[in-house]
Amino acid sequence: MSTAPASRSARPSVRIALVTTTAALTAVAASACSTSSSHTSDTAATGSSSDKTIQVVAAENFWGSIASQLGGSHVKVTSIINNPNTDPHDYEPTAADARTVAGAQYTIVNGIGYDAWADKLLAANPGSGRTQLKIGDLVGIKPGGNPHRWYSPDNVHQAIEKITADYKKTDPADAAYFDQQKTAFETKTLAGYNKLIADIKAKYAGTPIGASESIVTPLAEGLGLKMLTPETFLDAMSEGSDPTAKDKTTIDQQIKNKKIKIYVYNSQNSTPDVQAQVKEAKAQGIPVATVTETLTPAGATFQQWQTSQLQGIEQALAKATGK
């Protein structure tokens, strides 16, 4: 299994290799049926009105966690990416992944170029009557746009609505059950997540921040914070390419002159440039908050993971502004 490197400069060659890898998996999956997987499945045990179970495969566990909680006892969700040390950009599918996908009735892929390996895996392993959800298409973000839609509160709620609707179409007999699951998830399970977002936006809207990569941008937008870090730098770090000297100088000046109130960085992609910025921010007394690309720790739910990160950002903002 591929692990997250300090830098993502190897990404292009890996993606080329995936074409060959996925093609090889086609033969494996040709005779495959629905099978269990070594990947973690997070299925809630709740009451039901029928015994149907939808086989769901999510490319990444942040979407898988949501899908599992929305489906409760009527779904079995397998997330292909479920290890905090795995870089979803560079993942290489296995034969077991091919068998799992071949048996899926419903699949969730992020899209927007984030998990191209998943698109190839699905194409190589077509399933009869399988329903496919691509988050990028759902929220209207085209390839080349920011792919980190699970960090957009609005997009998360769009995904919740769509997943529930797809479950109801796949299993109409349990439509009322899925509606109940969705209502409970949005009003109770995500209550802390929703409240933190609303509180931060109400209290700190317009506060200038800096960040290590574009994963933070959708969240900053959802929180009403003002991103000062050049978008070209954020994109370069997310894509594993080298940032320009001009961008690095701009960020150094923003930190030195305290133009940003807090600095948020992805601890799963901490390059030497990012490490230097974190060190300088701390030296200047600028609070630093961290986020990760996938569920951390392993086994955490979407809401546990996001709430913990939001609390860290809220604490950093409070320290920086005195509010």
Say what percent of the chain tops pLDDT 90.
78
Q: What is the pLDDT of residue 48?
A: 52
**In the predicted model, is pLDDT for residue 320 greater than 80?**
yes
Given a cut of 50, whether residue 4 has pLDDT beyond it is no
> H-helix or E-strand containing 146?
none
Residue that is last in its domain, among 161, 188, 215: 188
Domain co-membership, 223 together with 290:
yes
**Exposure string (b/e) for 104-132, b if CB count within 10 Å is 16 or more?**
bbbbbbbbbbbbbbbbbbbebbebeebbe
Q: Grade residue 155 by pLDDT with cuts at 50, 70 and 90.
A: very high
**One domain for residues 165 and 231:** no
The predicted-structure confidence for 237-293, as pLDDT tens digits, reads as follows: 998 899 999 999 999 999 999 999 999 999 998 899 999 999 999 999 999 999 999
Token look-up 């060659």 returns: 13
- Domain C-terminal end among 138, 154, 188: 188
Q: What is the pLDDT of residue 30?
A: 35
Q: What confidence score (pLDDT) does residue 263 get?
A: 98
Decide if pLDDT at 304 tops 90: yes
Burial category of 2 from C-beta neighbours within 10 Å (exposed 0-12, middle 13-18, buried 19 and up):
middle
Total domain count, the chain: 2
Tell me which amino acid residue 73 is: S
Percent of the chain's residues with pLDDT above 70: 85
The answer to whether 98 and 25 have CB atoms below 8 angstroms apart is yes
Domain span at residue 260? 192-321
Contact in structure between 92 and 17 (CB atoms under 8 Å): yes
111 in the same domain as 221:
no
Same domain, 215 and 172: no
- Structural tokens at position 267: 């601890």
Domain boundary among 188, 219, 243: 188
Whole-number pLDDT of residue 285: 98
Tokens of 133: 């959800």
246 domain residue, yes or no: yes
173 and 201 assigned to the same domain: no
* Dihedral sign from CA coordinates of 267, 208, 235, 97: positive
Q: Is 45 part of any domain?
A: no
Residue 129: which pLDDT band, with cuts at 50, 70 and 90?
confident
317 and 301 together in one domain: yes
Residues 33 and 257: their CA atoms lie apart, in Å, by 60
* Band (124; pLDDT cuts 50, 70, 90): very high
Amino acid 33: pLDDT:
33
Q: 292: domain CATH number?
A: 3.40.50.1980
